[in-house]
Structure 1
């Protein structure tokens, strides 16, 4: 199934995405008020029982949000495609362990909601990525059973403010956490529909121009390794997200660098999931 979270008139809801619209699940499953509770309660079968009902909402009636609105943890993996390490041109060996940072939920918007270029920088960049949504939590998860802990997969544009990555000596947190600079969506595709162990392709386009294109077969740290590695030091919780890394081709690596500007449209397409699309606008200070 494809599961979405949304707002309608400022009221949050969640449901099943279909070709004909959204089957609204809000208030339809006892004790389940949102996507996070659906995942935590392992209530997918109850949602599936409603999948044959008629859609009650059209996509233009709602604003899609990140599929899990406020996960406890959003882990982000850096330099995870084999040729990404060569982009740095520093002569370093391939990494032995994943690079890792975290992002806040407020740094992301949903599908078809504009990314915001902040007032303090013009260096807004894109990074198309596949994102894991944790279903069954755990600590010290063996790699051989790690994929069983995945609820589903979604897409991320892990938008970055490049000059703010260099504000700290050893961290990238500032440039990765500007409000509304990234996006997640449009929905979660559950693992009964998409095998997380299968090979997937990822393509990022800016104004229709292909900027990134790669396959999960080129990942240095595949999904099962990432789950096992992260759970060595942190308990994974239902609804947590792991943003699994971006291929080569971000704007910072172009010569000269090319930044996103108001009016641009970024699309990240992943086979088996769909396309996450966002325009770009300048920040409006409240």
Structure 2
């Protein structure tokens, strides 16, 4: 079962995704106003039970960022060996992972357009897998790390490249433009290590494969990410970790191949889904 946040008729719902449309579940669980509340309550399985006997309620809808009120989103940078080599600085694998925060306002939903701002046109794509924490923990061991994952989703970690260079060591400015990225389409409950260990992530721009790699090649595997991050902060249900992108982002071509209005970016991982977004210029 897959669960999404969506709007229809001016109202926002969470519900189960089917091939025929959405099954709204929000009214069945008034104690949980949002999908984030469901995750924090550890109740995704209750959604499955509620959806089992229901008919589709919405066929005309629009996806939203899967958890629009996500409180904390941490991103892992430069996490594939070929991605490290793209920097051409001669550095070996770093001892520690690079981390930076993103905010929910920087993301839109599946089948929505990424927004290119007028201030700068270096909008780039980064296809990534996202883990959603479901069990609180501090100093979590790698052995126990997967026990703390509730669900998986996908991210286009869109970046305004020129703005990550505005300061000596700070990428926050280039990573948090409104609706410059996307997370979705839905949450897939995490039930088996193979969902991550055997996963292949592919990013296409206008049908052309730009990124193609397997998560098992990560320099800092997801178990290590959870261990490391939980050393300095208590991971809590609803926290999202964007786990890293392979080589092939637009900035690394010569000349760079940044996104422009009319482009379509697809990020796909078998067993999780396909996240698709167009691109438009911001209207100011």
TM-score, reference length from structure 1:
0.96
How big is each residue's C-alpha offset from its partner over 1:1-51, in whole Å with a ceiling of 9 and x where there is no partner?
Answer: 211011223322101111222111111025122111111111123212123
* Cα distance between partner residues in 1 of 2:232 and 2:42: 24
Closer, same or farther in 2 for the Cα pair 1:226/1:193, shift >3 Å? closer
Greater shift, 132-141 or 171-180, is seen at 132-141
Distance 1:195 1:214 in 2: 15
* Change in CA separation of 1:195 and 1:5 when aligned onto 2, cut-off 3 Å: farther
Deviation at 1:58, TM superposition (A): 3.9
Deviation at 1:55? 3.6
Deviation larger for 63-72 or 246-255: 63-72
> Is the 1:16–1:24 contact (alpha carbons within 8 Å) kept by the matching residues of 2?
yes
Per-residue CA distance 1:232-284 (angstroms, 9 max, x = gap): 11111111100011000011011110110000000001111111000000001
In the alignment, does 2:177 pair up with 1:178? yes
The answer for the alignment partner of 2:5 in structure 1 is: 5
Distance 2:34 2:133 in 1: 15
Deviations 1:131-175 (A, max 9, x none): 011111221112111101101110000000011110011111100
SS of the residue corresponding to residue 27 of structure 1 reads: helix
Residue 277 (str. 1) matches residue 276 (str. 2): yes
Q: Does the 8 A contact of 2:75 with 2:102 survive in 1?
A: yes
Identify the range of structure 1 (29-38 vs 180-189) with the bigger mean alpha-carbon deviation: 29-38
Q: Does 1:49 align with 2:49?
A: yes
Q: Name 2:124's counterpart in structure 1.
A: 125
Match of 1:26 in 2: 26
The structure 1 segments of at least 4 consecutive aligned residues displaced by more than 4 Å after TM superposition are: 193-197
* Structure-1 separation of matches of 2:192 and 2:228: 26
Residue in 2 that maps onto 1:233? 232
Partner of 1:104: 103
Number of residue equivalences: 284
CA distance in 2, matches of 1:112, 1:194: 28
CA distance in 1, matches of 2:236, 2:194: 20
Once the two structures are TM-superposed, the CA of residue 65 in structure 1 deviates from its matched residue by 1.0
Which whole-Å CA distance do the structure 2 matches of 1:21 and 1:208 have between them? 25
Residue 211 of structure 1 corresponds to: 210
Contact 1:124 1:260 in 2 (8 A): yes
Give 1:200 deviation, angstroms. Answer: 0.2
Q: 1:29·1:46 contact (CA, 8 Å) conserved in 2?
A: no
Which position in structure 2 is the counterpart of 1:84?
83
Q: Distance in 2 between matches of 1:30 and 1:65?
A: 20
Cα distance between partner residues in 2 of 1:222 and 1:270: 17
Structure 1 unaligned regions, length at least 5: none
Specify the alignment match of 1:16 in structure 2: 16
Could you tell me how far apart the structure 2 residues matched to 1:234 and 1:209 are? 39
RMSD: 1.3
